[in-house]
Each structure stands twice: as structure tokens, then as C-alpha cells.
Structure 1
Amino acid sequence: MRITSKGQVTIPQHVRKKLGLLPHTEVEFVVEGNVAYLKKAKESNRRGKALVEKMRGRATVKMTTDEIMALTRGEH
């Protein structure tokens, strides 16, 4: 396996399949001495949390939670 000039490497399909590494899966590297290990990140929903934090407080419609829930349920 060769590292590209951008520091990228392709994870072989059999390795991705065995580890369940789907597209957009968060991974992390653990370095112990001269060995690096690749593993799934412990918190795989970081992207979702970051998105929620970015959107927090940006609503332009003043509705209560009960009003929003009634609207999504089709209640009048």
C-alpha cells in the first residue's frame, strides 16, 4: 500500500467489510511505538452533534414544542 502525496491510503475492501467501515464512518488512529492502529471512533455521531450545535438558536418561527409536534403529526 502506498501513501499518496496528500497522506491518503485506500483501506482494502476486505478490511473495510470485516470492520464494518462504511462511507463516512469516523475512524481514529492509535499510535503505539512504531505501530499505528486504525479503529472506529468511539463517538461516531460527532458530525450530527456539530450540526445540531451549529443550528441551535437559528429558528425563525416562534412555535412551542407542542405546536411543532402537533404540526408534524398532522393534528389541527
Structure 2
Amino acid sequence: MTIPQNIRELAGLKPYDEVEFEYRNKQIVVKPVKRASTPGEEAIALLRGSGTSKLELSADEWLEMTRGER
């Protein structure tokens, strides 16, 4: 489920945070799931999706390259 960025920021949610839903007073309430995380997990969560490549390769080209076929 995609939560709009402005709502995520107001709620203090980061991308990939887990949430739970509650139905209260005829409203749906979305709350972050509280769980303990290690510093390593937090670092990975912050970096997830940030890698970019300047190579314009198709999926087939990437597979060939990783399999050593190129």
C-alpha cells in the first residue's frame, strides 16, 4: 500500500515501515508497528532503493553480464 509522502512525513513513517490498521469510531487508523531493530537494519532501510546506475541495460543484458555471458 502506498501512503502519500506528506501523510508519511506527518506520521513519522519511513519508506518500508510496517503499519497496522485499526477501525475506531467509524474511522480507519493507520499506526506504525513498534518493533526493535538493530542499527544495521535501520541503515539498510535508509539506503534501500537509493542505488542508481548510469548503465542503460535491459534485464536480459544484466542477466547475461551477471552470468558471465558477456
TM-score tier after normalising by the smaller chain length:
0.3 to 0.5
| Higher alpha-carbon Rg | 1
With normalisation by structure 1, the TM-score equals 0.39
